[in-house]
Each structure stands twice: as structure tokens, then as C-alpha cells.
Amino acid sequence: MLPPNEQDLPLVTVGVVVLNREWIIRQMLISMQSQTYPHNKLYVLMVDGGSKDNTVKIATEVLAASDFSGYEVVVKESSIPEARNICIQKMKGDYLFFWDSDVIMEPTALIRMLEILKKENVDMLLPTITVVTVNSVDDLDKKWREWETKYPRREESKIVQAAGTCDLLISKKVLAQIAFDPDLTFFEDQDFSLKATKLGFKILLTKNVIGFDLKSDRPYSDIYFDMSLGKTLRGLRKKGALQAQMVVKDSPSVSRAVLKFLLANKRYFFYIGYVPAIILTVIGVLLQNLWLALILPVYFLIYAAAQFKKRGFARGLKALMRSFIVGVPTTYAFLFYCLKLNFKRSQRVN
């Protein structure tokens, strides 16, 4: 349990990685200010990856009026793992709590998490938060008033091998040994947590803390989508290997695990289809067969229509290009490593 005296409580750094979150950053910081954990024991470190909107201005205004022990807003073009590493380098105190910029948490969240972490003697703690879709921040108050009835807390916890970092509390002793791989511009959190568990650190997943991960159908920012193409393409081999490991690790059958994953993430079927579509189109051109030659253009147009409807023309076109440049190599790298894992398992059986 936590020490009874406030002066003995640990200093916690709250790390916020943010990009173009003008629409929600004020509400997120208000949620942070509502925490019952003593504010003189909270240090806020925000790393902005180069927002083009008013995110930094709003955040600085809110933090300047706060009563936290201190704060710093770092503005630096960075990927998510790079920004998280900045948080690690600049953190103060004994714990780092990664709080995503679109997450709202109940006022007792931090103190509950620290109490559970101490009681269960674990090194990292991840609360189960609920993904909630809102049309605007005006919907937030109504959604939040429903949390007690729709999303009640539960006295349930379990040790897990991997965790996301959108609301992860981490002991400094973990961070003294592990950092985020800058090549993994996505899947960086799974890689980090898997490394931690391999070193013997314990991660506890708890349902005893309530929070919302806010999503919107409106075209707000997506940090992964807005990332530069060069950073998105970085570390494709590592990403493919890690994703394969995550998908098949708890399944006795690699093929079933992959099929289940593909059915749950149907866009991968489209990425896979690019290669046969290209091959058939090339054959059509060589044979001067119009129907075969049109397969790739038609394939492209079908996906384009879906993306334009969902994202508008400019972002839809960006999504279309990325589906080919990023989606295809990432998917085939994933499939390659799934096959490799399947071969290794069959070798062990034999």
C-alpha cells in the first residue's frame, strides 16, 4: 500500500505523446487535473511531434494554470517511440505514466493504479479502458455520466505478457534497462513490454480503474496516419517479425491464428491481393488482353472509392498510396514470419 503521509508518496511523471489533438487536449488535461493523487507529486512531460493545429498553445495555457509540481512541453518532430524515449530521458521521480492525449480517466485513477501496483508487487500496471466513439467533445459529458452503470469497475486483475502504452504505469527500474525501439514506428509498445517480461518484470492488467479512450468518426488526427512516409517504412522487417510473434504466440495452430487475424483485420486481404492483381495486369499487357490488363486499375479504383467516401479526397488519396507503399510490404513481411514460425514449430515436432 501507499505510504500514509503525503510527503512520502512517490513523484510520478505523466508522459503525454501528442500530435494534432486540438479537439481533445483540453479535456484530457482537465481529466489529469481532476486526479486526487497529490498534484505536488505529479510532473507533466508533453512531447509534441510537430502539431500543425493549436495543440501546443492550448496545452501550454492549461498547464501554466495548473498546480502540478512542474511541467515541460517539448516540441520536436518525432515518431511515437522517439517521443516515448524523450519522456524516459526527461522523467522525474520513481514512476512514468504514459497517458495518451485522447484518454479520459476517473479522478481516482492514478492513486488506484499506484496502490494496486504496490499491493500486487508488479513493475508495470495497465488499466482496462473502454473505447468510446464521440461525434464531438460535447458528447463527452453525457458518455462520462454513464460510466458507473455501463462500465462498472471490477475487482479483476491478471498478469499479462504484453501491453499497450496508452495508459501504462511503469516503474523506473524497468526504464533503467529498456527503451523503445525507434525503428518500430508502430508495435513499439508490444516490443517494449515483451522485452520487459523476458527480463522478468511483471505486467498486471486490472479492471479496477475506469477510463475512456475517445475516438471520433470525424477526420481528426491519426498519429500513425499523419506520420511521414519514411518513418512509417522504417523497420519493416522488425515489424513483420513482431506482429507474427504476437498473432501466433498463444495459438497451437499458426494457420488458424493467421486466418483469425486476417478475418478480424480484413484490410490485410486487400493488401495481399495487390500482388496477384499486379501479376495478372502485367500478363494482360504482355498478352494484349484488355480484361486482364484492367485488373489492377479496377482494384485500385474500388479501394479509392471506399477511402474517398471515408476520409475525403485528400486523405483518401493518401490512404490509397500508403495501402500500396506501406500496407503491401508490411503484410507480406508478416506472412513471411508467420511461415517461418510455422516451419520452426514443425521442426520441433519432428
Average pLDDT by consecutive 10-residue portion of the chain (350 residues)? 76 95 92 96 96 94 96 94 96 97 92 95 92 76 70 84 90 96 90 94 93 69 69 87 88 90 90 94 94 93 87 83 88 94 80
In this prediction, residue 220 carries a pLDDT of: 45
217/279 Cα distance (integer angstroms): 36
Residue pair 47/78 in contact (Cβ under 8 Å)? The answer is: yes
Supply the DSSP symbol for 139: G
In this prediction, residue 292 carries a pLDDT of: 94
C-alpha cell at 314: 485528400
In this prediction, residue 152 carries a pLDDT of: 74
Backbone angles phi, psi at 227, to 5 degrees: -65, 145
In this prediction, residue 224 carries a pLDDT of: 65
In this prediction, residue 33 carries a pLDDT of: 96
Enumerate residues 6+ apart whose C-beta is below 8 A from 254: 248, 338, 341, 342, 345
Residue pair 166/103 in contact (Cβ under 8 Å)? The answer is: yes
The DSSP element (H or E) to which 212 belongs, if any, is strand 211-215
In this prediction, residue 217 carries a pLDDT of: 59
Domain ranges of the chain: 6-215, 235-349
**Closest listed residue to residue 143, CA positions, set 212, 84, 229, 77:** 212
Which is it for strands 12-18 and 95-99: parallel, antiparallel or unpaired?
parallel
Residue pair 44/68 in contact (Cβ under 8 Å)? The answer is: yes
CATH of domain 6-215: 3.90.550.10
Burial 275-292 (b: 16+ CB within 10 A, else e): eebeebbeebeeeeeeeb
